[in-house]
């Protein structure tokens, strides 16, 4: 079923969500959104770890510079 991207949720329920196929379509959309959110959370965690690692490296370099002065 093709649904234009500019259809609001209210319009969807009023005009399109009349059978089980439509409800399954909504469930699939919800599952896709949930998966996207989980992927983004994982990416955020990976970026946090990378930032912490780079911050530690930066601190190590600062200490080396202080020692060499």
Condensed to tens digits (0 to 9), the pLDDT of residues 19-58 reads 777 777 778 888 889 999 999 999 999 999 999 999 999 9
Q: Does residue 2 belong to any structural domain of this protein?
A: no
Entry field: residues in the chain:
69
Q: Does residue 42 belong to any structural domain of this protein?
A: yes
Structural domain total, the chain: 1
pLDDT at position 26 is: 78
Q: Does residue 54 belong to any structural domain of this protein?
A: yes
If you write DSSP's letter for every residue of 2-68 in order, what string do you get?
A: ---TT--HHHIIIII--SHHHHHHHHHHHHHHHHHHHHHHHHHHHHHHHHHHHHHHHHHHHHHHHHH
Q: Does residue 7 belong to any structural domain of this protein?
A: no
pLDDT category at 9 given cuts 50, 70, 90 is: confident
Q: Does residue 46 belong to any structural domain of this protein?
A: yes
Domain that includes residue 45, residue range: 12-68
pLDDT category at 17 given cuts 50, 70, 90 is: low
Q: Does residue 61 belong to any structural domain of this protein?
A: yes
């Amino acid at each position: 079923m093709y649904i234009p991207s500019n259809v609001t949720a209210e319009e969807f329920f009023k005009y399109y969500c009349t059978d089980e196929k439509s409800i399954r379509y909504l469930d699939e959309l919800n599952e896709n959104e949930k998966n996207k959110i989980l992927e983004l959370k994982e990416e955020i965690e990976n970026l946090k770890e990378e930032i912490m690692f780079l911050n530690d490296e930066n601190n190590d370099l600062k200490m080396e510079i202080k020692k060499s002065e």
